[in-house]
C-alpha cells in the first residue's frame, strides 16, 4: 500500500540531516527494502555502508522475550539513533506468544523512546486491502500522530488515498488526498473532494463527469 515506502522517505530525510536511523524489519528482507528504496530514487545502501542506517532483519521465529527492547536500547544508547522504524507491528504481533502482551510492551518501548526524544514510526497493516478493513490491534491511543493509507477503486483503477486521522499536538488537515508511488518517489495530490466513501474502498463519484475524466488523465 505504501507504508514501507513512506517510512523509507522519512528515514532518508533524517539520514540526509546526518541523523542515525534504526529500521527493524519483520516482514521482508533487507535486500527487498533496499531495492525498493533504490527504485524510488533513494540510495539507502550508502547509509548502511557508513553505519548511519542500522537495518536489522528480525526472524520472528527466533525472537526472544524482551529482545526488541534490548535491540532498540542498544541502537539508542550505543549508536545515538534518532528515528526508530518498526516494519511492521503486524509482523511483531505475529511473532509474540499469547503471554506476551504487545500493547504493554509497546507502551514501555514508546515511553522510553519518547523520554530520549527519539521519533518512532510504527507500521500496522489492516486486515483486507479494499472494502471493509479491520485493524488487528488498536495502537492509536499510544501514538501522537496517525496517518491512514487506503486503496480505493475508481475508473477501473486501483488508487491510493492518504489522510491524517490524529495529531495530538494540534489541528491537522482533514482532507483525504490521492497519492502515487513512482520511480520519482511518493507524490501527494489534490484532496479527493469529488468522491464520497473513499474510506469504504468503493467510493461514489459526486462531481461532474468531466472532472472524472480530468482525474483519469492525471492518475
Ligand X SMILES: Nc1ncnc2c1ncn2[C@@H]1O[C@H](COP(=O)(O)OP(=O)(O)O)[C@@H](O)[C@H]1O
Considering the complex, state which of residue 68 and residue 123 has its C-beta at the smaller distance from Mg ion. Answer: 123
Task: List binders of Mg ion among 1-20 (CB under 5 A).
Answer: 4
B/e letters for 103-129, b = 16+ CB within 10 Å, e = fewer, are eebbeebbeebeeeebbbbbbbbeeee
Instruction: Name the residue nearer to ligand X (CB basis): 183 or 210.
Output: 183
Binding site for ligand X (CB under 6 A): 1-5, 36, 39-40, 181-183
Which is closer to Mg ion, CB of 86 or CB of 192? 86
1 binds, among Mg ion, ligand X, none (CB under 5 to 8 A by kind): ligand X
Alpha-carbon Rg of the chain, whole angstroms? 19
Pairing of strands 195-196, 119-122: unpaired
Q: Decide: is 90 part of the binding site for Mg ion (CB under 5 A).
A: no
Task: Give the count of residues interacting with Mg ion (CB under 5 A).
Answer: 1
Which of ligand X, Mg ion, none lies near 39, with the C-beta cut-off 5 to 8 A by kind? ligand X
Q: What is the largest CA-CA distance in the chain?
A: 58
47, 16 contact by CB (below 8 A)? no
DSSP helix/strand/coil, 66: coil
Contacts to Mg ion by CB under 5 A: 4
Amino acid at each position: 500500500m505504501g507504508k514501507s515506502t513512506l517510512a523509507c522517505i522519512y528515514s532518508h530525510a533524517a539520514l540526509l540531516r546526518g541523523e542515525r536511523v534504526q529500521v527493524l524489519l519483520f516482514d521482508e528482507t533487507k535486500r527487498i527494502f533496499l531495492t525498493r528504496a533504490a527504485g524510488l530514487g533513494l540510495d539507502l545502501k550508502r547509509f548502511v555502508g557508513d553505519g548511519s542506517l542500522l537495518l536489522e532483519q528480525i526472524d520472528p521465529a527466533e525472537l526472544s522475550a524482551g529482545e526488541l527492547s534490548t535491540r532498540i536500547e542498544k541502537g539508542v544508547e550505543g549508536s545515538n539513533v534518532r528515528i526508530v522504524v518498526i516494519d511492521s507491528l503486524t509482523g511483531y504481533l505475529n511473532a509474540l506468544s499469547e503471554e506476551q502482551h504487545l500493547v504493554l510492551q509497546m507502551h514501555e518501548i514508546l515511553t522510553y523512546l519518547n523520554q530520549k526524544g527519539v521519533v518512532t514510526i510504527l507500521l500496522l497493516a489492516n486486515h483486507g486491502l479494499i472494502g471493509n478493513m479491520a485493524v488487528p490491534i488498536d495502537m492509536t491511543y499510544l501514538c501522537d500522530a496517525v496517518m491512514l493509507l487506503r486503496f480505493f477503486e475508481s475508473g477501473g483503477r486501483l488508487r491510493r488515498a492518504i489522510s491524517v486521522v490524529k495529531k495530538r499536538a494540534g489541528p491537522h488537515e482533514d482532507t483525504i488526498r490521492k497519492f502515487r508511488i513512482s520511480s520519482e518517489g511518493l507524490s501527494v495530490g489534490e484532496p479527493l473532494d469529488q468522491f464520497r466513501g473513499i474510506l469504504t474502498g468503493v467510493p461514489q463519484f459526486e462531481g461532474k463527469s468531466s472532472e472524472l475524466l480530468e482525474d483519469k488523465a492525471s492518475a
